[in-house]
Amino acid sequence: MASNNSEMIRIRRELYTAVANMTWRGRLIEEIDDYPDNLIAELTTRYRCCEHKEKAVLKERLRVILGLTPYEVNKHTTLGTMAKIALQKATRPNSCTIEMLAVACDRCPFEKYVITDACRNCIAHHCCVVCPKDAITIVHNRAYIDRNRCVECGLCERNCPFRAIIQVTRPCEQACAAKAITRDQKNAAIIDCETCVNCAACIPSCPFGSIADYTQIAQVVTMLKESPQAKHALIAPSFVGQFGPKATPGGLRAALLELGFTAVHEVAKSADEVASLEAQEIQERLASGADFVTSSCCPSFVATIKSQYPDLVDRISHTPSPMAHQAAQLKALDPQAIIVFIGPCIAKKNEAAGLRTVDAVLTFEELGCIFVAKEINIAAITEEGELDQANSLGRGFAKVGGLSRAVMAKLDENSGITMRVANGIEEAQTALKDAKAGRLGASFLEGMACEGGCIAGPGTLIKRVVAEKLLERYCQR
Amino acid sequence: MKTIALEFCVGTACHMKGSPDLVASLETLSPWQRKSVELRYTHCLGNCGAGPNVKVNGVLMSRVTPESLVRTISKYLGQG
């Protein structure tokens, strides 16, 4: 959660809530076309050059919230038609999860080194002297970098005594550890879907809010309203404290039942079973000659291995993630049941798209907006009790290191199995590089793309430090 | 010592509109200012459409931002 982006978060939640509200009232198709106009009339601040641009950006945002890709629409498709397509669409999530909204991208400068007004056109001209490619000349009393010659070495920046040369990187490119963000011919940022690991670090990084993830808000609300089948809510271990200091686990369960879910499950219960399966798999695979095994529950970590370390793919554990495990169990009991996973994670949307068992994925943020749209106040529900049954080992999965701790607890004391924990995508990259060179130094690698683990995920509602304290207390219950 | 009573709405609507940021903003107060704050949570202040809401010494403030909250507190308690 990036609270310093409060304005972007406010707009996003307003749109989520509006879509959920129109869907609850059964008026989505009829009302969504007028929504951007009504919203702009209400807004006192303007973000873009003109009303037309503002409306174009809002239309794109709403398309993504409806879960439609640019390939499913054309520029003449109205929002009402999009809503119709969205509601008829099978409830499967998209295989691509994060989109760069072309119309919203401000095409930030991408030249790495820029000469600023602080240039004094001095006599020494350190910049010109140190440049190994003779790319800097003086034009109109100021240093000028010839882009065709510049190799972006940075010597000029370091040698200017006035610090008149600055280094500029697009925030989205800087945030992307997978290096999946590039530029199109018009210099707008684009995401390479094949390289993207869906970690969502780019979304809060963009100060224009031009990166968004597809949602299934309208589809889930429609299922809750209309589907006769059993509807299961699977709540990720990181839910603790997400809905505020007065929302109890029992209150969350009651609120979900009020929304229309038939049953509420704590995924931490499955996480504990997954730890046992994982412990068994590690022992078997090490016995049959494997040098190490990696965790499989963080989809961004798994995607990082698949796209950047293809040699290590066979080391990924075959044990399903807690979400996949629990969904498979529930679908086996009732193949008609609707399974909705609710968690802190955007990459889970992508994982679910590859499974036949999970019908929809919501983030805590999206669920919160659905509650607001239905005027359900969890803080006002004084329901005691648990969300569901789970133990502290499973609940500990929410925090980085929790998976390793649970697996260790399932292993024999003298198993000789050692753990390495990669906290965040950068540590994961380092660990995988070590692993590739045969220097991992452990028999099991736990990889978490979010620094801090799932409780620091992009779909969370409270700060990591607060969530950590609350989780610790919850695990001790 | 002058004290200030803050009643934060942490109902779901205000929570989604940023009440966690308001509570966190108290950390930016000076230590003596923080000692003068009496903090309470409530589940609704009856103005959900205009959240986040805070009652400051019994007076309802709506659409509160971390900046406006800290400004109000500092105005009441003084800078010290």
The closest CB to that of A371, out of B12, B43, B65, belongs to B12
Q: Is the pLDDT of residue A313 over 70?
A: yes
pLDDT bucket at A2, cuts 50 / 70 / 90:
very low
ipTM for this model: 0.93
Mean pLDDT of chain A: 92
pLDDT number for residue A50: 83
Cross-chain residue pair A379–B19, CB shorter than 8 Å:
no
pLDDT per residue as tens digits for the range A114-142: 999 999 999 999 999 999 999 999 999 99
Is A398 in contact with A238 (CB distance < 8 Å)? yes
The closest CB to that of A463, out of B11, B24, B41, belongs to B24
pLDDT number for residue A446: 96
Is B62 in contact with B17 (CB distance < 8 Å)? no
pLDDT per residue as tens digits for the range B24-39: 999 999 888 888 999 9
Interchain CB contacts (distance < 8 Å): A and B: 66
pLDDT per residue as tens digits for the range A354-401: 898 999 999 999 999 999 999 999 999 988 878 888 888 999 999 999
Which residues of chain A neighbour B20 with C-beta distances below 8 Å?
Answer: 3, 244, 461-463, 466
pLDDT per residue as tens digits for the range A202-258: 999 999 999 999 999 999 999 999 999 999 999 999 999 999 999 999 999 999 999
A367-378: buried (b, 16+ CB within 10 Å) or exposed (e) per residue?
bbbbbbbbebbb
Chain A residues with CB under 8 Å of a chain B CB are 3, 6, 9-10, 13, 17, 243-247, 365, 368-369, 371-372, 375-380, 461-463, 466
Global confidence as pTM? 0.93
Tokens of A44: 């006192």
Q: How many CB atoms lie within 10 A of CB A422?
A: 25
pLDDT number for residue A1: 40
Q: How far separated are the first and last CA of chain A, in Å rounded? A: 26
Q: How far is C-alpha A284 from the chain's CA centre?
A: 33
Cross-chain residue pair B43–A377, CB shorter than 8 Å:
yes
DSSP secondary-structure letter at A316?
B
